[in-house]
């Protein structure tokens, strides 16, 4: 019969398996029957995979590939159970001595539910606590083959990645758009082991030696007595430290520039900062710095927008990233390298490559693309992925090695160490998001939260009981090797090289490379931040640092603070500007940006329909703004006068002159001409104008412009046809903002 046949088949298959195991292939291999007398010298034929080898590394505990598209339902299965799998009858009422009685200690479901909840939070990151992450794919170009043996850079090779963007200072719930450095950490799950490129959106750092990291962070974090201000550098302790510790001045200049208030994670550059050592197949080395170049260009908010956003949409960057990915507008970056000869002095063009407060201008060493990254999937469980992801600059694949940069050296200790507290034990690499996609065959055992059930008795080397497995690999098997760099014979000493003493020349290089409007923003940022300090001595000391960088910068900030401008301590350095540092004067693709369209539901909506298509066709997102929600002329209204605010739009179009909504707030100074315009629409136009955004209007929409008095100013375009007006606005958006609108007073 059929069942009998099946049983017979199963029995035969099992017998075959047993025979296989008993076949003596190699002396010493399990089941070979030949006892091993000496330590084996060659790997035994592949043994069955152990629990911690491959297999689970790309899987979540429920078996799906990490980063797989979300399942339709959050909860699987028909019945609610306890953590032990017992089906539950009731989860809303605790077990009590009568309906009005006290709760019984025996209520195991209540205890399990509440205990788990009580322990849901883990310590937030000591820095970079606020962040957002996404999955994606990296594709190598093959252009780095002569530089490094790293397999993930080979032509066409695709590697899964997970990126986490962050701010540095704020707590986990702080606002996205504060003035701060942004983290840009990428985990490449390469076949040769995970590579973490843990960088920032600025190419330099505050300190030259990692031993000072607790100092700069204690100074930047909220004051220890009142724990304010949150996620801000505009306070005494920060400026106390950076004015005393002038090697921070270059990084601070980047913070005070527009780079400190990125428009979007998608529009940020990234930098590995340190110099790394690349090793090719022949064992030859070069020194290199990593750069990420965003396809959408480098864009920033203006300060007022950043401040408004912190209140109106503190999740702005997170929302922007996830909205873009979910709508299919996948953000892209090219990974690039600047390459330098690996000379014994480790300098290039007189710049010390081990000093993380220095850049090498792109004009001196070209930035060469070696691959492309596309972020195409949002996390499905923020805690499991974004919160638990653990980066470490010491996660390196063969072909990429570290240098003696003293900042990097300290980081190599800190990142591993911090996870022990944050993720509660040494087994954090077994958390799904952290599992390598390369097969893991380590001899690490036990520890809190051990997930693997290891077989065998020989987690040590050398062994004979496991046939000598696992063996160490050589170059042919793609082993990581530490470059045998010669370490100079030198006294043991707590000191820096003399080249590290130059703290001002590159801050000056940055300042001198800015356009007048960017310089203006820098002046205003310093003036604001120092204006929030209470201690006069700190302001004066920082003005001295600014005088050492540039007398004009110092004079302007001093004037804003109402203080005298000091003289430079020494003549300021002569620098050659690096145009690549400026964000102004270039044309960027408009892709992925947002256009607000004010519509009159009673007006000509046919025009709006065509316009909406044109905006989509340009790779941008149109958001219709109307007096009420729902539909207007058959099109969805995404923002009302109550919910729309200028800060989320990169440009504004006025397609009509809608009547004020019934909930319009009173306007005290409404001029007769304004009476027909909702004050919130006037505010939209005024703010967009103030933030130097392109504004376009046609037909009845032009009357709204007239009411605000901005008609005819730079970047405000009007016309009869929507099509023509939009074409002009699109052209203006290539420059990101209408820079002429900012009164640049720096000469």
Residues designated as active site: 128, 200
Sign for the CA dihedral angle at 485, 491, 492, 494 comes to: negative
Q: Least separation, in Å, of the C-beta of 350 and ligand HDD?
A: 22
Does residue 676 belong to the site contacting ligand HDD (CB under 6 A)?
no
Least CB distance to ligand HDD at residue 346 (A): 17
Helix (H) or strand (E) holding 97, with range, is: none
Q: Would you say 422 or 628 has its CB closer to ligand HDD? A: 422
At residue 132, the 3 state secondary structure works out as: strand
Characterise 356 by phi-psi region: left (phi > 0), alpha (psi -120 to 50), beta (else). Answer: alpha
170 or 183: CB nearest ligand HDD: 183
Q: Which of 138, 152, 189, 205 binds ligand HDD (CB under 6 A)?
A: 205
Residue 326 CB contacts under 8 Å (≥ 6 apart), including other chains:
378
Among 26, 95, 126, 438, binds ligand HDD (CB under 6 A): 126
Site string for ligand HDD, 297-316 (x = CB under 6 A): --------------------
The yes or no reply on residue 125 touching ligand HDD (CB under 6 A) is: yes
Instruction: Tell the smallest beta-carbon distance from residue 417 to ligand HDD (Å).
Output: 7
State yes or no: residue 412 binds ligand HDD (CB under 6 A): no
The whole-angstrom separation of Cα 47 and Cα 437 is: 19
Distance in Å, CB of 332 to ligand HDD, minimum: 20
Least distance CB 127 / ligand HDD (angstroms)? 5
Q: Which stretch binds ligand HDD (CB under 6 A): 72-80, 135-143, 192-200, 290-298?
A: 192-200
Nearest distance from C-beta of residue 220 to ligand HDD, angstroms: 12
Q: Taking the complex as a whole, how short is the minimal distance between the CB of residue 430 and ligand HDD, in angstroms?
A: 16
Please, which residue, 127 or 697, has the CB nearer to ligand HDD?
127
Is residue 203 close enough to count as binding ligand HDD by CB under 6 A? no
Hunting for tokens 């322990």 — which residue is that?
A: 119
For residues 190-204, one letter each, b for 16 or more C-beta atoms within 10 angstroms of the residue's C-beta and e for the rest, the string is bebbbbbbbbbbbbb
Out of 56, 67, 136, 183, name the contact with ligand HDD by CB under 6 A: 183
660 binds ligand HDD (CB under 6 A): no
Are the C-beta atoms of 288 and 143 separated by less than 8 Å?
Answer: no
Q: How far is CA 288 from CA 207, 483, 665, in A?
A: 20, 14, 58
Relative to beta strand 716-719, strand 694-698 is parallel
Smaller CB distance to ligand HDD: residue 153 or 273?
Answer: 273
Residue 409 lies near ligand HDD (rule: CB under 6 A): no
Rule CB under 6 A: is residue 210 a binding residue for ligand HDD?
yes
Is 590 a binder of ligand HDD (CB under 6 A)? no
> Structure tokens of 480?
């990581």
Site membership for ligand HDD, residue 379 (CB under 6 A): no
By CB under 6 A, which span of 36-44, 171-179, 389-397, 581-589 interacts with ligand HDD? Answer: 389-397
Instruction: Give the residue, chosen from 28, 60, 127, 506, that forms a contact with ligand HDD under the rule CB under 6 A.
Output: 127
Q: How many CB atoms lie within 10 A of CB 34?
A: 12
List the x/- string, 260-299, binding to ligand HDD by CB under 6 A: -------------x--------------------------
Q: Which residue in the set 40, 44, 128, 583 belongs to the binding site for ligand HDD (CB under 6 A)?
A: 128
Q: Does 200 bind ligand HDD (CB under 6 A)?
A: yes
Interface residue with ligand HDD among 265, 391, 510, 698 (CB under 6 A) is 391
Contact range with ligand HDD by CB under 6 A, out of 31-39, 44-52, 125-133, 489-497: 125-133
What is the DSSP secondary structure assignment for residue 208, as one 8-state letter? S
186 binds ligand HDD (CB under 6 A): no
HSE, side-chain direction, 13 A CA sphere, residue 340: 28
**Nearest to ligand HDD of 108, 121 (CB atom):** 121
SS3 283: coil
Of the two residues 390 and 626, which places its CB atom closer to ligand HDD in the complex? 390
* Contact (Cβ atoms closer than 8 angstroms) between residue 183 and residue 128: yes
Tell me how far apart the alpha carbons of residues 185 and 273 are, in angstroms, rounded to a whole number: 12
Pick the closest to residue 297 from 577, 512, 585 (CA basis). 585
The helix/strand/coil state of 491 is: coil
CB 302 within 8 A of CB 687: no
Closer residue to ligand HDD (CB): 251 or 263: 251
Report residue 160: phi and psi, to 5°.
Answer: -65, 145
Question: Is 251 a binder of ligand HDD (CB under 6 A)?
Answer: no
Exposed/middle/buried for residue 268 (C-beta within 10 Å: 0-12, 13-18, 19+): buried
Q: Which of 746, 703, 745, 695 is nearest to 725 (CA)?
A: 695
Integer-rounded Cα Rg, in Å, for the chain is 30
Binding mask 67-106 for ligand HDD (x = CB under 6 A): ----------------------------------------
Considering beta carbons, is residue 157 or 172 the nearer one to ligand HDD? Answer: 172
- How do beta strands 594-598 and 651-654 pair? parallel
DSSP symbols for 593-630: -EEEEE--TTS-HHHHHHHHHHHHHTT-EEEEEESSSS
Stretch that binds ligand HDD, among 9-17, 407-415, 521-529, 597-605 (CB under 6 A): 407-415
- Rule CB under 6 A: which of 344-363 touch ligand HDD? 356
199 binds ligand HDD (CB under 6 A): yes
Asked if 525 and 256 count as a contact pair (C-beta separation under 8 A), the reply is: yes
Task: Decide if residue 201 touches ligand HDD (CB under 6 A).
Answer: no
Distance CA 243, CA 252 (A): 10
410 binds ligand HDD (CB under 6 A): yes
Of the pair 185, 710, the CB lying nearest ligand HDD is at 185
* DSSP run (H or E) holding 251: helix 249-256
CB of 254 to ligand HDD, least distance (A): 12
Closest CA to 153 of 199, 187, 184, 188: 188
Q: How far is the CB of 130 from ligand HDD (least distance, A)?
A: 10
131, 203, 590, 656: residue in contact with ligand HDD (rule CB under 6 A): 131
C-alpha span between 191 and 140 (Å, rounded): 13
Residue number closest to ligand HDD, CB atom? 183
Q: What is the phi-psi region of residue 68: left when phi exceeds 0, alpha when psi lies from -120 to 50, beta otherwise?
A: beta
Q: Could you say which of 289, 411, 639, 736 contacts ligand HDD (CB under 6 A)?
A: 411
Say how far apart CA 505 and CA 367 lie, in whole Å: 22
Q: In the numeric block, which tokens belong to residue 3?
A: 């069942």
The CB-side HSE value for 284 (13 A sphere, CA atoms) comes to 8
- Helix/strand/coil percentages in the chain, nearest 5: 30, 15, 50
Spell out the SS3 assignment of 326-349: HCCCCCEEEEEEEEEECCCCCEEC
Q: Which is nearer to ligand HDD, 205 or 511 (CB)?
A: 205
Site for ligand HDD in 496-555 (CB under 6 A): none
Question: How many binding residues for ligand HDD (CB under 6 A)?
Answer: 26
Q: Say how far apart CA 286 and CA 147 lie, in whole Å.
A: 7
Pick 420 or 552: Cβ nearer ligand HDD: 420
Q: Would you call 270 helix, strand, or coil by DSSP?
A: strand
Taking CB under 6 A as the binding criterion, the range among 250-258, 404-412, 454-462, 724-732 that sits at the site for ligand HDD is 404-412
Judged by CB under 6 A, the stretch of 414-422, 478-486, 677-685, 715-723 that binds ligand HDD is 414-422
- Indicate whether 415 belongs to the interface with ligand HDD (CB under 6 A): yes
Per CB under 6 A, residues contacting ligand HDD are 125-128, 131, 164, 166, 183, 185, 198-200, 205, 210, 213, 273, 356, 389-391, 407, 410-411, 414-415, 418
């Amino acid at each position: 019969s059929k069942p009998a046949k099946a049983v017979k088949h199963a029995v035969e298959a099992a017998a075959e398996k047993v025979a296989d195991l008993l076949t003596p292939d190699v002396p010493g291999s399990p089941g070979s029957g030949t006892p091993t007398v000496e330590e084996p010298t060659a790997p035994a034929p592949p043994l069955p995979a152990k629990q911690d080898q491959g297999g689970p590394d790309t899987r979540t505990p429920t078996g799906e590939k990490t980063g797989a598209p979300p399942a339709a339902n959050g909860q699987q299965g028909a019945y609610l159970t306890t953590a032990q799998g017992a089906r539950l009858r009731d989860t809303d009422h605790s077990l009590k001595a009568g309906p009005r009685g006290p709760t019984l200690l025996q209520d195991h479901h209540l205890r399990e539910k509440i205990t788990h909840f009580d322990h849901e939070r883990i310590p937030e990151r000591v820095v970079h606590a606020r962040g957002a992450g996404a999955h994606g794919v990296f594709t190598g170009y093959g252009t780095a083959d002569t530089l490094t043996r790293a397999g993930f850079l080979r032509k066409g090779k695709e590697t899964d990645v997970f990126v986490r963007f962050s701010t540095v200072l704020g707590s986990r719930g702080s606002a996205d758009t504060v003035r701060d450095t942004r983290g840009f950490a990428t985990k490449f799950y390469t076949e040769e082991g995970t590579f973490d490129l843990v960088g920032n959106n600025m190419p330099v750092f505050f300190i030259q030696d990692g031993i000072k990291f607790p100092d700069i962070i204690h100074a930047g974090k909220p004051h220890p007595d009142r724990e304010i201000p949150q996620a801000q550098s505009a306070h005494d302790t920060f400026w106390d430290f950076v004015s005393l510790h002038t090697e921070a001045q270059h990084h601070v200049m980047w913070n005070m520039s527009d780079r400190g208030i990125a428009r979007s994670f998608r529009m940020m550059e990234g930098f590995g900062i340190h110099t790394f050592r690349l090793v090719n197949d022949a064992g030859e080395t070069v020194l290199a710095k990593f750069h990420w170049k965003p396809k959408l260009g480098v864009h920033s908010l203006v300060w007022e927008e950043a401040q408004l956003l912190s209140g109106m949409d503190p999740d702005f960057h997170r929302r922007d990233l996830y909205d873009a990915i979910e709508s299919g507008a996948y953000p892209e970056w090219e990974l690039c390298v600047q390459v330098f000869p690996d000379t014994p002095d480790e300098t290039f063009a007189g710049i010390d490559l081990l000093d993380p407060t220095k850049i090498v201008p792109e004009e001196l060493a070209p930035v060469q693309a070696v691959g492309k990254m596309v972020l195409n999937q949002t996390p499905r469980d923020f805690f499991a992925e974004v919160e638990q992801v653990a980066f470490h600059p010491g996660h390196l694949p063969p072909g990429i090695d570290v240098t003696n940069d003293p900042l990097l050296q300290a980081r190599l200790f800190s990142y591993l160490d911090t996870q022990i507290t944050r993720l509660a034990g040494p087994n954090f690499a077994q958390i799904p998001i952290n599992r390598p996609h390369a097969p893991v065959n380590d001899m690490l055992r036990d520890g809190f939260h051990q997930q693997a059930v290891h077989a065998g008795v020989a987690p040590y080397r050398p062994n004979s009981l496991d046939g000598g497995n696992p063996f160490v690999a050589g170059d042919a098997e793609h082993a990581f090797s530490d470059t045998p760099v010669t370490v100079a014979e030198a006294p043991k000493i707590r000191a820096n090289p003399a080249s590290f003493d130059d703290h001002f020349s590159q801050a000056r290089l940055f300042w001198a490379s800015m356009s007048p409007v960017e310089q203006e923003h820098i002046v205003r940022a310093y003036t604001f931040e120092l204006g929030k300090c209470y201690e006069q001595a700190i302001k004066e000391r920082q003005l001295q640092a600014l005088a050492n960088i540039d007398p004009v910068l110092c004079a302007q900030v001093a004037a804003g603070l109402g203080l005298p401008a000091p003289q430079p301590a020494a003549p300021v350095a002569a620098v050659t500007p690096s145009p690549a540092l400026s964000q102004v004067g270039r044309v960027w693709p408009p892709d992925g940006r947002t256009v607000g369209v004010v519509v009159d539901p009673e007006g000509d909506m046919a025009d709006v329909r065509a316009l909406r298509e044109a905006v989509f066709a340009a790779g941008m997102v149109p958001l219709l703004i109307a007096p009420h929600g729902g539909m207007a002329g058959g099109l969805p209204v995404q923002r009302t006068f109550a919910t729309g605010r200028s800060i989320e739009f990169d440009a504004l179009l006025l397609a009509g002159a809608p009547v004020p909504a019934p909930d319009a707030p009173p306007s005290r100074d409404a001029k007769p001409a304004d009476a027909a315009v909702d004050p919130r629409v006037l505010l939209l136009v005024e703010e967009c104008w103030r933030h130097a955004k392109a504004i376009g209007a046609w037909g009845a929409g032009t009357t709204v412009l007239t009411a605000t008095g901005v008609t005819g100013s730079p970047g405000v375009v009007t016309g009869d046809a929507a099509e023509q007006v939009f074409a002009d606005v699109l052209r203006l958006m290539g420059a990101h903002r209408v820079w002429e609108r900012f009164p640049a007073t720096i000469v």
